[in-house]
Copies of this chain bind each other. A is one copy, B any other.
Amino acid sequence: MELERIGALAQDSDRKVLLYVLDGLGGLPMEPGGPTELEAASTPNMDELVRAGSCGLHEPVAPGVTPGSGPGHLALFGYDPLRYETGRGVLSALGIEFPLERSDVAARGNFCTLDADGLVTDRRAGRISTEEAAPLAEALDAIELDGAQAFVRHVKEHRFMLVIRPDVATGADLADTDPGLTGVAPAPVRALTPGAQPTEKLVQAWLDAANGVLAGHPHANAALLRGFSSRPDWPSFQDVFGMRPFGAAAYPMYRGVARLVGMQAVAVPEDPESLVGELKRRIDEFDFFFLHYKPPDKAGEDGDFDQKVAYIEAADRIVPDLLGAGADIVIITGDHSTPALLRSHSWHPVPFLIYGGAARSEPAQRFGESACALGSMGLRRGRDLMPLAAARAGRLAKFGA
C-alpha cells in the first residue's frame, strides 16, 4: 500500500514498536543440507519470540534483487525502495553524516588521472591512499564560488563528496562527468532539465577551480563527479505511521538513512548492550525505535561463518532486556542476506519475526530460514513489515466503512 494511504489510516496508541535490525542476517548453508548462520546459532530468546509471535521471510526490494544497505533499510521503514530512490551523491553525504540542507546538490566525487591529451587513464587515481587524498579534499573544500557555497569532504581513498549549496534553490538533474571508462575525456557538465541550468554553471565553475588545484599532482590530477542529487522530499515516517521515530546506529550510513525519513538518530557504540541503554533512555520520548546492529553483516562479508554465528548469539542475548525496556511490538530481521558462503549481500529472502499484539498460532518453533519459510507470515515484501507491526500496535484504523 502507498505511504499516503497508510498515513490516512494512522491512529494513536500507547504501544511502542521496536525494529531491531541484525544487518545482513539472512544466510546460506556452507554445504548442502547444512544450517545457515542463524540456524547454527543458539538463539533461545528469539526462538521464544517466534513461538509466542509470528515469523516469515521478506524480500527487501524484489525477487532476485540483491539490496544495498540504503534500499534494504528503506524497505524496513515501510518505503518501497523501487519508488523511493536516492542518488549516489545523497548516499555519499549520508555515509559521512554531512548535514544536507533541502536545496543542497550533492555529488559523489572521484580523484582520477588524465593524460597529456586530457583523456582519463585511471578513474580512481590508482586507488590513491586515504593519507594522500585527504589533504587534496581539504584543498578542494577551500574553493569559493559566486552564488553558492561549496563543501568537499573526503570519504575514503579516491572517494570524496561534493555539496553545492546555491544561494537560490536550483535543480540537481545533471549528467555524470565520470565517463565510466578510460581512454576518453571526462563528460561535460550538463543540465538534464532547464531547472538545473544554474547548477550546471556552478558545478562547471567549481570543477574548473578543482582541476586547477589538482593540476600537476602526480597521482590525482583531476576530479570526476557523478550521482548529482538533492535530499528527497518524501513523506516523513511520523506522517505515515503516526509514531515519533528514533534511531540508534554505530555507523553514519544507517543514521543517515533514518534521518532521510525524518527519524531522530544518534550514534551508539557497536555492542548490543549499548542499544538496550539507548532504548531505556528514550522509551518515553518516542513511539518507534530503530536499533541497528552491524556485526553480522561484517562477518558475512568476511566469509566468517562462525563469527557471524557468534554475533547473532550476542544479538540474541539482549532480547529480554529490549522487552523489559518497554518495547510492546518487536520486529527482528535483517535489511538483506549476507551469507558467509558468498562473502557479499545476496538476493535470498530474509527471516523476520514479529512479536506482540494479537497473533495466530505459529507453526515455526525457532528463528531460522527454513522455519520462517513455513512460518505463519509467509513470504513478504520488506515494505510490508511496518504496516503489519503498526496494526499489531493498534495504530492502523479500519479501511472503509
Contact = CB atoms under 8 A, between A and B. Distances in A.
Interface in A353-397: 358-361, 363, 369-370, 373-374, 376, 378-380, 384, 386-391, 396-397
Q: Is the interface of A mostly helix, strand, loop or mixed?
A: loop
Contact of A65 (B29, B36, B391): B391
Contacts of A345: 398
Contacts of A139: none
A59 to B, nearest CB: 9
Interface string A252-277: 00000000000000000000000000
Contacts of A32: 52, 361
A339 interface: yes
The count of identical subunits is 2
A36 to B, nearest CB: 7
A116 interface: no
Contacts of A361: 29, 32-34, 369-370
A62 B363 contact: no
A82 B9 CA distance: 13
Contacts of A57: 378
Interface stretch (A84-92, A140-148, A310-318): A84-92
A401 B358 contact: no
Contact of A396 (B1, B36, B65, B81): B65
A390 B64 CA distance: 7
Nearest to A27: B360
A353 B47 CA distance: 30
Interface string A61-89: 11111111111000000000110011010
A172 interface: no
A369 B360 contact: yes
B63 A384 contact: yes
Interface size class of A (residues with CB under 8 A): 35 or more
A390 to B, nearest CB: 6
Contact of A363 (B359, B370, B397): B370
A370 B91 CA distance: 43
A343 to B, nearest CB: 11
Interface string A340-359: 01100111100000000011
A98 to B, nearest CB: 15
Given A81-B399, A360-B28, A374-B363, A391 B64 contact: yes
Given A32-B52, A68-B399, A363-B374, 13 more contacts: A29-B360, A34-B361, A62-B387, A63-B387, A64-B386, A66-B397, A69-B401, A95-B401, A345-B398, A346-B391, A363-B373, A378-B379, A379-B379
19 contacts: A29-B361, A32-B52, A36-B360, A57-B378, A61-B400, A64-B386, A64-B391, A65-B399, A66-B391, A68-B398, A70-B401, A81-B400, A91-B401, A341-B358, A346-B358, A347-B388, A347-B396, A360-B369, A378-B378
